[in-house]
Amino acid sequence: MEKLEDLLVWFREWAPLHLAEDWDNVGLLIGDPGRSIEKVTTCLTVTPEVVQEAIDHKTDLLLTHHPLPFSPLKKITAETVVGKMVCQLIENKVAVYSAHTAFDSASSGLNDQLARRLGLKEIVPLIPVETEATRRNGEIKETGSSSAGVGRLGVLTQSVTAQEFIDRVKEALSLSTMKFSGGLEQKIHRVGVGCGSAGTFLKEAIRNECDLFVTGEASFHTLLEGKAAGLSLLLTGHYSSERFAMESLATELQKKFPTLEIWASRNERDPVLWV
């Protein structure tokens, strides 16, 4: 048995909360950090299926990527989907902790893991984070001098065609289909990465002269903007670009806290069917 706070202290070192975006809602969102815990479930998103799993298996903590609640709540009743889940979690003493964009941007966080999984080398953040020191001095650190930051940028040791790179990504993420915009015979060397829905980083990928940008999902207009700038885009699906990291988080946590029972949610599924 461990105190919830002990696990959170360790995880906050991995994903420091000051790395989170201003709009985000991160940290301990439901629960008492002083409670003792025995079981932890990691997941990408808290859904009714994940809540049911947590209740059935008496999980003490849901370590989730996407925050719940995310938007401010003025009332918590079972009349809304979010309200019902929050009620059920509190009634069953299930805590919720979300690091979200802090985990995305951490030096060994989600984007770093995704870039490594895709075989990229010389990995640096697409947008390096301002350290506390540079923030105080009003200076921005130079690109690549910090290992924490938004998105990632890396290179392939040997250039390949877009088609060859797509095949690699399919294997790395166990996917049979993805969306692609660009030329399949185009040579790929410099690759930008942004997990989830990272179309907003497109300008940074173009500015950094990437040949290809990999993200989970992006809009039609983002694809057109990329194409006009000569940047190919590869869309893996939001779920596939992030879920693997919650599985490896469960494995890492289990090594660090061997007395706890820790697993990645078995009820969680991609809500998108690729038909």
Q: Using CB under 5 A as the criterion, which residues of the chain lie in contact with Zn ion when the complex forms?
A: 196, 242
> Using alpha carbons only, how large is the chain's radius of gyration in Å?
19
Judged by beta carbon, residue 41 or residue 241, the one nearer Zn ion is 241
Judged by beta carbon, residue 190 or residue 243, the one nearer Zn ion is 243
CB of 245 to Zn ion, least distance (A): 10
Judged by beta carbon, residue 194 or residue 196, the one nearer Zn ion is 196
Place of tokens 């893991």: 113
Cis peptide before 72 (omega within 30 of 0): no
CB of 44 to Zn ion, least distance (A): 7
Burial class (CB in 10 A: 0-12, 13-18, 19+), 139: exposed
The beta-strand segments (E) located in the chain are: 2-3, 27-30, 36-37, 39-43, 61-64, 95-98, 121-124, 127-128, 149-150, 152-161, 179-181, 187-194, 212-215, 232-235, 261-264
CB of 270 to Zn ion, least distance (A): 12
Judged by beta carbon, residue 242 or residue 268, the one nearer Zn ion is 242
- The number of residues in the chain equals 275
CB of 250 to Zn ion, least distance (A): 17
Residues 6+ away with beta carbon under 8 Å from 176: 170, 274
Judged by beta carbon, residue 11 or residue 239, the one nearer Zn ion is 239
CB of 38 to Zn ion, least distance (A): 28
